[in-house]
Amino acid sequence: MRAASLARYLPAEGIRLDVLTTRNPSAVGTDATLLREIPAEVTVHRTFTFDLPFAVKKWIKRRITGAKSPSAKSATAGKPNFLKRMLQDVLLPDPQVTWLPLLTYTARRLVRKRGIDLVLITTPPFSTVLLVERLRKSFPGLPIVIDFRDEWLSTNFDLVSFVFSVSERAKSVACVAEARAVTDATAVVAVTEAARRQIRSRYPQQPESKFHLISNGFDSTRLQRSQTPSVPRSDGKIIVTYVGTVYTSTEPTSLVQAVESLPLTVKSRFLLRFIGHVEEPRFREALLGLGEMIELKGYLPQPEALAAMNETDYVLLLNHDPLNVGGKFYDYVGGGKPILGAVHPQGETRRLFDEMKAGWWAGIDDVEGIRRLFIDAAERGNSLAVDFQPDREKIAQYDRKILAQRYARLLHSIAEGGHEDTITLPTGTMQEP
């Protein structure tokens, strides 16, 4: 969605945009209707990739790790089998590396044919950072920007369950790949200040001016903002909706334990709806263990998923990651619904939560704290409209159109050979170029 919003809004900022992507992407789901929002003047180039479909990769990963069920998790220990060793040695830094030869050839051709002034590489897939070194060899003076939608090395291997290989060799290849890319890049952009600082700390020999922050955000044209929280339902039910993928970084174990421990009179009032792909069978089993109070809706096109937020009393946020902030957080605050959050207590999500007064949170591993969140939500009732007072002025700064305008200023500055200074936000947080 970050890349799509840039493609949607950058042309209005004096940028002629060519997009190079795949014809057969490997993804949890696709929503072709979003293409209608891309301006006609954006030229999209598609190439074939040998990457396997997402479901096939997940099946292979389960086969080579032996993790066929929650109880089989320990089977990953020990010496890897031949297939696993081969994949770990070849498909690095990720399976999308199979796109690299054709990606490199096509990118070089487009730079020459289309008179490209600047290349913006958005990642993940993290293998696309390998393109930086290849382009730099062909075009020594070409401005190249790496856009890290997720911080790679510090949290990705531990928290993101769809990382294909977490071997020591995979980590070593990733470290080398990032270091070369950052060295050869003109600028590096992160989506949270914590991630920007983390990436920057690994390369103290690089100038501070190379590292920038442009946050993720929400699209106000797509969201139907709820101006006031919904009034209590006549049947007393409280609907709490989660939108997004459930994977290691958002795994729901502590949530399930907290909800299971609620008094029956409180527990019976809640309906938890999960919209999106559930990555691990063990997560699905845990959620389904909540019985009638859980609904797993599966993947829905974005308009349907966002519309479902308007039918809910609270939206649910889960995040173990101290550096990265899930995209759903911005859609939640942009939609105006109060959040019940179980988040890393020292993380970026918690910081933004407090800054925007987005709702109520507890530590992601604090079962008793999460339990209290739900009890308080049940008791809040008619007082919700008074108690929930988000800072709409601060939230408005995260509109994708505004963020794209900031991004455009940065790209213009880089393309023209300038070094734009960082801009201090009204909130006092670090630079938002």
pLDDT, one tens digit per residue, over 20-77 is: 998 877 666 677 778 888 999 999 999 988 766 666 556 655 555 554 443 334 334 4
- Residue boundaries of the structural domains of the chain: 2-217+400-415, 238-394
pLDDT on residue 201: 95
**pTM greater than 0.75 (yes/no):** yes
- Please state the CATH superfamily assignment of the domain spanning residues 2-217+400-415 in this structure: Glycogen Phosphorylase B; (3.40.50.2000)
Displacement of CA 192 from its chain's centroid (Å): 11
Q: Which fold has domain 238-394?
A: Rossmann fold (3.40.50)
The CA distance from 60 to 43, in Å, is 35
Q: Residue range 347-373: average pLDDT? A: 95
pLDDT on residue 164: 53
pLDDT on residue 183: 96
pLDDT > 90 fraction of the chain, expressed in percent and rounded: 57
pLDDT on residue 58: 60
pLDDT on residue 371: 97
How many other C-beta atoms are found inside a 10 Å radius of the C-beta of residue 318?
Answer: 23
The yes-or-no answer to whether 2-217+400-415 and 238-394 have a common fold is yes
Is 84:37 a contact under the CB 8 Å cutoff? no
pLDDT on residue 319: 92
The CA distance from 158 to 392, in Å, is 34
Residue bearing the bigger pLDDT, 232 or 371 = 371
Residue burial 104-136, b: 16+ Cβ < 10 Å; e: rest: beebbebbeeeebebbbbebbbbbbbbbbbbbb
